[in-house]
Amino acid sequence: MNIEQKLLSEIIEAIKVLYGQETSGEQLQIQPTRKEFEGSHTLVCFPLSRVTKKGPEQSASEIGEFLKEKSPLVRDFNVVKGFLNLVLIDHAWIEALQELSVAPLKDSKEIMVEYSSPNTNKPLHLGHLRNIFLGWSVAEIYDFLGYSVHRVQIINDRGIHICKSMVAWMKFGEGKTPAETSLKGDKLVGEYYVKFDQEYKKQIAELVSKGITQEKAEQSAPIFEEAKDLLRKWEAKDSSTVHLWKTMNEWVYSGFNATYDRMGVTFDKLYYESNTYLLGKEIVQEGVEKGVFYQKEDGSIWVDLTADGLDEKLLLRSDGTSVYMTQDIGTAVLRFKDFPKISGQVYTVGNEQEYHFKVLFLILSKLGYSWAKECYHLSYGMVDLPSGKMKSREGTVVDADELMEEVVTKARELTSELGKIEQLSEEEAIALYENLGLGALKYYLLKVDPKKRMLFNPEESVDIQGHTGPFIQYTHARINSLNRKAQELGYSSSQFSTNIKLEVVEVELISRLLDFIPKVKEAAKDYSPALIAQYLYDLAKDYNKLWQNVIILKEEDEEKRSLRLYLSQKVGETLKTGLKLLGIGAPDRM
Residue 282's pLDDT band, with cuts at 50, 70 and 90, is: very high
161 shares a domain with 41 = no
219 shares a domain with 78 = no
Percent of the chain exceeding pLDDT 90 equals 86
* Terminal CA-CA length for the chain: 37
Asked if residue 396 has pLDDT above 60, the reply is no
Asked if the structure places residue 303 within a domain, the reply is no
Asked if the structure places residue 35 within a domain, the reply is yes
Asked if the structure places residue 140 within a domain, the reply is no
- CA atoms of 498 and 335, how far apart (whole Å): 52
Among 131-135, 253-257, 383-387, the minimum mean pLDDT is found in 383-387
- Point out the domain boundary residue: 240, 265, 290: 265
196 shares a domain with 65 = no
pLDDT digit string (tens) for 433-444?
999 999 999 999
440 shares a domain with 547 = yes
Asked if the structure places residue 222 within a domain, the reply is yes
Residue 33: CATH number of its domain:
3.30.1360.70
Residue 512: CATH number of its domain:
1.10.730.10
37 shares a domain with 170 = no
What is the mean predicted confidence (pLDDT) over 511-533?
97
- CA atoms of 91 and 93, how far apart (whole Å): 5
pLDDT digit string (tens) for 190-205?
999 999 999 999 999 9
pTM of the model: 0.92
Asked if the structure places residue 573 within a domain, the reply is yes
Residue 79, beta-bridge partner list = 84
- Point out the domain boundary residue: 237, 265, 293: 265
Domains identified in the chain, total number: 3
Asked if the structure places residue 341 within a domain, the reply is no
pLDDT digit string (tens) for 18-35?
999 999 888 899 999 999
261 against 455, higher pLDDT: 261
59 shares a domain with 186 = no
- Point out the domain boundary residue: 205, 239, 265: 265
Asked if the structure places residue 503 within a domain, the reply is yes
pLDDT digit string (tens) for 52-88?
999 999 999 999 999 999 999 999 999 999 999 999 9
556 shares a domain with 417 = yes
Domain that residue 14 falls in: 3-88
Element (H, E) at 313: strand 312-316
Asked if residue 392 has pLDDT above 50, the reply is no
429 shares a domain with 529 = yes
- CA atoms of 532 and 567, how far apart (whole Å): 20
569 shares a domain with 461 = yes
* Coil, helix or strand at residue 189: helix
Asked if the structure places residue 347 within a domain, the reply is no
29 shares a domain with 162 = no
What is the mean predicted confidence (pLDDT) over 315-320?
90
564 against 391, higher pLDDT: 564
Burial class (CB in 10 A: 0-12, 13-18, 19+), 358: middle
In this predicted structure, what is the pLDDT of residue 390? 42
CA of 303: how far to CAs of 312, 322, 380, 470, in Å? 6, 14, 27, 50
